[in-house]
């Protein structure tokens, strides 16, 4: 695909609010296509590129969210990215731009009495995530907003879910992973093996920090860690606000994921229900 370098730029050397297993899958697929090196699961199995991206699709020529009995159902699935240019999930990704646009339209739509965020995602980019979360949180009170997980909401997806009035998780679904991760890729040994030497010519002592052609210096690592820590604290504070929990309690989860009822117990969800049961519960609340 022609956009592989663009995807790599958005995934490597940038903070992500994503579960490690999901990040591993995406990065292994990209590395395999670049032919530079191979990243493996602990089991040693490579992952297919088809798990990351598919054939491009055109924007569907109908309403971008479904309205069922007065409830706007906004789908949020796959890897979450800042800008996808699509109003619905496509190619295994959902854009924060599409979610925000659908939310704005649903709030203004006279046929919509409530909004259901239909979420199943392991997370994605930090960029754009918290602005969207604040927009959802700020919309509370205009119309009921429920996050109904079908199956899980982890990391950036959980940040979005937590902004709703109510979070419902199925018994086999999950919540949490309130943390930030950043992967630095060092291709220097692989390039040297192929007889390729890359010289970085730059102005400014820190200009080349984090480049993929040299090992990461201790100074650069410390700076990136500080940035990740700041984003992690923003994540923790946001979830604490959204769920009316103490910052210490959210931070104390140490990015743990919680299965079904465990998420309710920790305060990350309000009820355990299958998605269809949750939808009926929302309808009952609307009367």
pLDDT-derived band at 39 (thresholds 50, 70, 90) equals very low
**Averaged over 37-41, what is the pLDDT?**
39
Query: What is the distance of C-alpha 119 from the center of its chain?
Result: 11
Residue 40 above 60 pLDDT? no
Q: pLDDT grade, residue 136 (50/70/90)?
A: very high
- pLDDT above 50 for 60: no
Instruction: Give Cβ neighbours of residue 77 (< 8 Å, ≥ 6 apart).
Output: 89, 94, 118, 119, 120, 121
Position 19 confidence tier, pLDDT thresholds 50, 70, 90 = low
**At 267, is the secondary structure helix, strand, or coil?**
coil
Question: 25-39, 123-137, 146-160 — which is least confidently predicted?
Answer: 25-39
Q: List the catalytic residues.
A: 155, 207
Confidence of residue 284 (pLDDT cuts 50, 70, 90): very high
pLDDT of 248 strictly over 90: yes
Which pLDDT does position 49 carry in this prediction? Answer: 28
pLDDT of residue 118: 98
Name the band, by pLDDT with cuts 50, 70 and 90, for residue 17: low
Q: Are 275 and 76 in contact (CB under 8 A)?
A: no
Secondary structure (3-state) at 134? helix
Domains of the chain, CATH where assigned: 68-180+246-286 (3.90.226.10)
Q: Determine the 3-state secondary structure of 96 from DSSP.
A: helix
In angstroms, how far is the first alpha carbon of the chain from the final one?
49
Contact (CB, 8 A) for 180 and 16: yes
Mean pLDDT of 149-168: 98
pTM, 2 dp: 0.80
216 by Cβ neighbours in 10 Å (0-12 / 13-18 / 19+) ranks as middle
Give the residue among 139, 148, 10, 149 at the shortest CA–CA distance from 79: 10
What does the mean pLDDT of the chain come to? 85
Contact yes or no for 47/41 (Cβ under 8 A): yes
pLDDT in tens, 167-225: 999 999 999 999 999 888 889 899 889 999 898 999 998 898 888 899 999 999 999 99
Helix, strand and coil in the chain, % to nearest 5: 40, 20, 40
């Amino acid at each position: 695909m022609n956009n592989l370098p663009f995807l790599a730029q958005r995934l490597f050397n940038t903070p992500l609010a994503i579960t490690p297993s999901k990040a591993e899958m995406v990065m292994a697929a990209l590395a395999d296509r670049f032919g530079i090196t191979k990243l493996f699961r602990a089991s040693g199995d490579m992952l297919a590129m088809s798990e990351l991206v598919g054939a491009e699709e055109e924007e569907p020529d109908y309403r971008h969210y479904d309205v069922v009995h007065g409830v706007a159902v906004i789908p949020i699935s796959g890897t979450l990215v800042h800008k996808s240019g699509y109003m619905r999930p496509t190619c295994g990704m959902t854009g924060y731009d599409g979610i925000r646009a659908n939310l704005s339209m649903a709030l203004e739509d006279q046929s919509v009495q409530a909004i259901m965020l239909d979420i199943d995602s392991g997370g994605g980019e930090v960029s754009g995530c918290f602005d969207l979360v604040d927009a959802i949180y700020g919309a509370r009170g205009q119309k009921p907003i429920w996050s109904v997980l079908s199956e899980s909401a982890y990391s950036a997806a959980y940040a979005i879910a937590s902004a709703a009035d109510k979070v419902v998780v199925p018994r086999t679904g999950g919540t949490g992973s309130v943390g930030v991760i950043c992967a630095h890729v060092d291709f220097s040994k692989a390039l040297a093996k192929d007889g390729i030497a890359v010289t970085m010519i730059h102005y400014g002592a820190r200009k080349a920090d984090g480049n993929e052609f040299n090992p990461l210096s201790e100074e650069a690592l410390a700076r990136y860690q500080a940035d990740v820590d700041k984003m992690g604290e923003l994540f923790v504070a946001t979830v604490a606000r959204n769920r009316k929990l103490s910052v210490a309690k959210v931070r104390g989860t140490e990015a743990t994921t919680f299965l079904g009822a465990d998420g309710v117990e920790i305060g990350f969800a309000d009820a355990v229900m299958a998605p269809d049961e949750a939808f009926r519960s929302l309808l009952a609340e609307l009367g």
